[in-house]
Structure formats: C-alpha cells, structure tokens
Amino acid sequence: MRAVFQTLMALLAAAALALLASPPAHAVIPGGGAAPETEPAGETQAIAQDRDGGEDRRIEQRIEGIFSELPAFRQVEADVRGGVVTLSGVVPGEADIDRAANIVGRIQGVVTIENALERDTSVERGLGALGDLSDRVERWIALLPLVGIAALVALLIAGLGYFLAGLGGLWRRITPNAFLAEIVASAIRFVFVTLGLVIALDILGAGTLLGAVLGGAGLVGVALGFAMRDTIENYVASLMLSLRQPFRANDHVRIGDLEGRVIRLTSRATILMTLDGNHLRIPNGQVFKAVILNYTRNPQRRFDFELGIDADDDPRAAMTLGARVLAGLDFVLDQPEPAGRIRQVGDSNIVIQYLAWIDQREADWFKSRSLAIAAVKQALEEAGFALPEPIYRLRFDGRSDPLALGRPATVRQSDEPAASRPPPDRTAPSAAGPPDVRPEREIAEMVEQERRNPAEQADDLLDSRRPVE
C-alpha cells in the first residue's frame, strides 16, 4: 500500500511540473488585459533549435525599414529576441494594430508576435484629423473641373434623350396608338438618362459606386414590383386592351356582370355609361380578365320568352300559333324564322318558349320583346287556350273561432260579380296606331355628347381605324 501511495504522489508531482513548464496561452498587454497572440504565416512550421545571433537584429532592421516607409507606423517600435517580436507604440486607428501584426508575420524568421500597440488618442492626433479633412477638401476642389465635365456630358446625353422623346408625332406614326407612343418616349428618356449617369461616373472613376447604385436600384425595383403588383398589372392590361381594341365607342357591352355603353378606354380604366345614365369606371386589369359580351357587333339579336298553357291543351298547336303570330309582327325578321319550343311540362301546365329575331338598328330589343309577349298571349287566349294560374286549396280547421254573426258585411269593389264588371278594352292598343319599336337613342346620345368633350379626347385609347378583336 505504501508503494502504491508513493507511485501516485510521483505521478501528481510530474503533472504539476508539466503544467508549470508549459508557455502561457495569452500575452499580457502593458496597458492591462490579455491579448491573443498573432500567429505568423509559418507558425505551423517547426521552430529551428539553433539561431544565428545576428538574425534577430536583421529581423528588427527589416521591420524598422518597412515601418519607416509607412506614415501610420512611424511611432511603432519593434524588439526581437529569439524570433519573438514585441511591438509597442501608438498607431492612428484600431485597424492599424492588426495591419502591423500582419506585416510582421510575413517576415521570414519570426516565431511569434507580442502585439502591444495602442490607438493614438492624443489631442495632437485629433487636431491632425482636421488637417486630413482640409487635405480632402482641397482634393475635392481640385476635382471640381472634372466633376463639371462629367455633369456636362451627362446633361448633354440626357438632353438628347428628352429631345428624341419629344418627337411625339414620329412615335405616334410608328406605334399603333398614343398610349404606346408615350411608353416608347418614356423608355427613351430613361435609357438616355441612365446612359448619361453611367458615362459621368466612369469619367470620375467611380465605377464601383455605379455598381452599388445599380444593385441597390435593382433591389428597390423588385420590392416596388411586389408592392405595386396590382398597379403594374393594370398598366399592362391597358396596353394590351389598346392594342387589341375589344370594342368601339358607344358599343353596348356586358363586362362580367356589368352592363352599359362604352364611353372611352383610358390608360387606367374603361368608362361605361349604364342603361340608367350613370358613369361606371372599371379597372382595365378587371376588363382584360373578364368575359366581354358585345351586343352591338352583330345587329341581329334574338329575344325569347315563356308562356304556359293548360295541361289538357295541344302544345303543338300553341307552338304553331305563337310562331305564326311572331312572324306577322313587322319588327320580327323573316330569317331566322320565329319558333316555339316546349320548355317543360309542369304539374298543371305546359311551358312553351317562343323565339324571334330582330334588327337592333331598326327595333329596340326590350320594346320588341314586350310587344311580342302581349301579341302571342292575346292570340292564345282568343284561340281558346287556357293560361292557367297557380291554384291553392284552402282548408278550414274546425277548431278555429266561428265568424261573428249579425255584423253587416262590407262589399268591396273587387267582391262584385265578374258579370257586372265591363270587359277590358282590347282595341285600345290598335287604335293608337302601329307600335313604336324604334331603338332608344337617349343613352347613345349621352355617350356621344361625352365623347365630344375635347378635354377627354386626349386620354381616349379607342381607335376606330384599328380592327376590333
């Protein structure tokens, strides 16, 4: 047991001696605190056992020769002993401390570096910064003539771009419409201004600054593109609509679920006048993606309506009679011929659909349909066809309160027997002359009056010379 104890004590003593003999991991700076050692380039190489006594002096002279050529290190002192370089003194800035260590580390023969350099915080140094500022101002003043030349070149190039963009008549003749001509002019201005800026910065030797500016402008452009996505989409839709021309001025259109007559197409929206005389502004992005129904493109338009006859009546006879009545109307076209179709068979009636065509240039669609319904209904009734009405069965509950007796009953006008009322005057419409089915021009004339406004014509992208898509 004693032998084991002596062996353990010997091992502990050996470990303690090894720790005491190991070099410190950090060097102590005279100003206080520990600073990490700066490893030279050859730190991983083996350190020579034998060194020439004059080698430290040669390293020290080499360091002094290098630092003497650098104004920032003229107050730096180097002491070399055994390949270990100790730097002391002051330097102008924090970055110069690491710079000095990097320079010394590249000298052959340097084992390690004790960097004890400090930043110069004296008043003289602060006043010297004012001298540096004055030197910079003098350099800027000397650069002013070159700046003036660069600015003049940039202005000349940009002026040329604005001159070319100002040739509006030329671009309007080349491009399909005024909107596209304005886009071309704006693109020319932008290209020439950017070119002038690039050449001016190149004259000043600020190519790096130009790259940074263009890179920042690209990032800003991407951010603005996401933020203004709807605006850009609407702008592109305006361009496509101006090229395709999906409708003319005063066309009666339905865009999605919106209906009216076209007043104008602008660079932002399509302006309609609804059938009740109100202005309707639809963004072009919505117009471009919507389904457009143009009632004006084809002058022939079909109308239809439904009438029900009694389930016991002959539907084929009702279809033939209705089609013959429609064909006898002056405003109904012979071709395509009017027709009748069985729409459905209900619980107590048969629904028949009647169809006929009109020329919208001579007859109004709403008026024609209304008169056609009245004519067919009258013909069916006169021919003995019953137009059934909904029949309701009333069931009286025996538990309800009995009616009060002894009160005088009040006879209303509607309670009179049907035989006592005079029959309706069926000759009144015919006595007034032929029905008026002329197209209504009120909304169309309001649209024309709007389009005659000179202030609004410049922003109109509708072009009657271009074909409609």
Please give the pLDDT value at position 458.
67
Q: Which of the listed CATH numbers 1.20.1090.10, 3.30.70.1880, 2.30.30.60, 3.40.50.11440 matches domain 249-295+449-457?
A: 2.30.30.60
Is CATH 3.30.1340.30 the classification given to domain 24-121? Answer: yes
Q: Domain ranges for the chain, please list them.
A: 24-121, 127-227, 249-295+449-457, 298-391+428-438
What top-level class would CATH report for the domain 298-391+428-438? alpha beta
Q: Mind listing the pLDDT tens digit of every residue in the chain (469 residues)?
A: 444 445 445 544 554 444 444 444 343 333 333 344 444 444 455 666 566 667 888 888 888 888 888 888 888 888 888 888 888 888 887 888 888 888 888 888 888 888 888 887 765 655 555 556 677 777 778 878 888 888 899 899 999 998 988 887 788 787 777 778 888 888 899 889 888 888 888 887 776 666 776 777 677 777 766 666 778 888 888 888 988 889 999 999 999 999 999 999 988 899 999 999 899 999 999 999 999 999 998 999 999 999 999 988 999 999 999 999 999 999 999 999 999 999 999 878 899 999 999 999 899 999 999 999 999 999 999 999 988 877 666 777 666 555 554 545 444 444 455 445 455 554 444 445 677 788 888 888 888 888 887 776 767 888 777 777 6
**Structural contact between residues 313 and 304, judged by C-beta atoms closer than 8 angstroms:** no
Distances (CA, A) of 287 to 237, 272, 451: 8, 11, 20
Residue whose structure tokens are 């009333």: 394
Burial of 457 (0-12, 13-18, 19+ CB in 10 A): exposed
**Structural contact between residues 297 and 250, judged by C-beta atoms closer than 8 angstroms:** no
Indicate yes or no: pTM above 0.85. no
The C-alpha atoms of residue 372 and residue 302 are separated, in whole angstroms, by 12
Please give the pLDDT value at position 26.
40
Residue 200: name the closest of 143, 159, 157 by CA: 157
Please give the pLDDT value at position 409.
45
- Span between the terminal Cα atoms of the chain, in Å: 110
Please give the pLDDT value at position 128.
54
**Structural contact between residues 145 and 210, judged by C-beta atoms closer than 8 angstroms:** no
Peptide bond into 336 cis (omega under 30): yes
Bridge-partner residues for 76, per DSSP?
89
**Structural contact between residues 380 and 307, judged by C-beta atoms closer than 8 angstroms:** yes
The C-alpha atoms of residue 421 and residue 413 are separated, in whole angstroms, by 10
Please give the pLDDT value at position 279.
92
